[in-house]
Amino acid sequence: MGLKNILIPMNCLKYYNFKVLLSSVNISYQGECFAHQNTFAMVFSHHMTMLRSYLIAHKFCDITKKESIDTFGTAIGCYYIAAMKSDEIYFNALNSKAKLLKLGYPNIDKQIKNYTPKKPQKSVLVMFHHFKSYKKVMEAIDKLLNLKYEIIFRPNPHFHNQKENVEITKFFQGKKGFVYDDSPKLTNETLQKAICSIGDYSSTIFSFPLTTLKPCMLFYPSDIMGDDFEKENINGKMLSFADENLHIISRSVDELVNHIENLNLKEWNDKILKYRNEEIYNLGNSSQVISDLIMQKAK
C-alpha cells in the first residue's frame, strides 16, 4: 500500500467500505468489516500520531479545537478531509503543511437522508457542554416553560451524571413540559418537533440546523462567557465558529427567549436549505467520493 495510516474516527467507520486490519484506539474494531468484506484494509490510529494520514473530522468544529490546531499546524504529508467551504477558512489560517481535500462529510449525509420533516411543535431542544453557565440555562428553561414551551433537555451522553446536569434534571423533573432525553442518539421525533435547538459548542450546533433546516440558538451569557466566546484567534486571525446562516447568538436569557418567540421558521428553512446546498461538499455522495479517493491513493 502507498499509505501508512488512514485515520477515520470510530463513529464514521460504518460509512466506509473496508475491513479494519488493526485498531490502535479500540481493539474491538479489529477484523470487523464495514459494508464490503475484503474491499480495503487499514490501520486505525490516533490523530495526534498522524504520519501520512487522512483525518476525517467527526465533528464540524474539530478544526477549531486546540489539539486539532496543533496537529494540523505541524502535519507533514497528511490530508484533512473538509466537510464544507468554511473549513477552508480555518485551515488556511493554520498555515498547515497538511493538504486540504474538499470531499464532504458522510455523517451529515446519513442524518439528512434519515430525517423526515414534519410540522414542528412548540418544543425546544436544549443541549450544553459548558457547565459554568448552567444557572443561566436553568433560568432560560424556566422562562420558556412558563411560556408553555415543551423543553427537551438532552445532556451530552458522556456527562449524564455531571452534577450540573443532575441538578437541572432534579429541579425540573415532573414539571409540565419538561422532558429529559437520555436516548443514545437524537431521534427523528425529537428533531421533527423542535422549532430550534439551544447549545454552545458541539457538533450538534451544526448538524441540527443542517439536518432539520431549523436554527440553533447559541447561548453565551456575556456576564459569564464574555462577548466573544464563539471567536478563535488562530495565528493572529480572529475567526468565529458561529455561522449567521445556521445560528442566532444570545448574550442574555431575555435575548434568548425573545429570539425564540420571534422565530420565523419559513425564512430560516429557506435560508439554511440554500446554504446547505451551496456549502457542503459532495452533499449526499461524500462517502463514495472519499472511498474512491482513498482507493486511488492506496494503489
Q: What is the pLDDT of residues 210-241, one digit of tens each?
A: 999 999 999 999 999 989 988 878 788 888 88
**DSSP 3-state of 75:** coil
Residues 122, 260 within the same domain:
yes
pLDDT tens figures, 28-50: 433 343 333 333 333 333 333 33
Residue 137: phi and psi, rounded to 5, are -60, -45
Residues 227, 187 within the same domain:
yes
Residues 52, 68 within the same domain:
yes
Residues 190, 260 within the same domain:
yes
Residues 172, 139 contacting (CB under 8 angstroms): no
Which residues have a Cβ under 8 Å from the Cβ of 276 and sit 6 or more positions away? 210, 213, 283
Domain contains 3: no
Residues 125, 99 within the same domain:
no
Residues 148, 261 within the same domain:
yes
Residues 147, 181 within the same domain:
yes
Residues 37, 69 within the same domain:
yes
Domain contains 1: no
Residues 153, 251 within the same domain:
yes
Q: For 185, left (φ over 0), alpha (ψ -120 to 50), or beta? A: beta
Domain contains 188: yes
The owner of cell 457547565 is 131
% pLDDT > 90, the chain:
45
Domain contains 248: yes
Residues 128, 94 within the same domain:
no
pLDDT tens figures, 241-284: 899 999 999 999 999 999 999 999 999 999 999 999 999 999 99
Residues 164, 68 within the same domain:
no
Distance CA 98, CA 167 (A): 44
Residues 269, 214 contacting (CB under 8 angstroms): yes
- Domain region containing 20: 10-105+282-298
Domain contains 31: yes
Quick one: cell of 181? Answer: 432525553
Q: What is the mean pLDDT of residues 9-33?
A: 41
pTM (two decimals): 0.79
Distance CA 201, CA 265 (A): 22
Domain contains 4: no
Residues 116, 76 within the same domain:
no
**Structural domain count of the chain:** 2
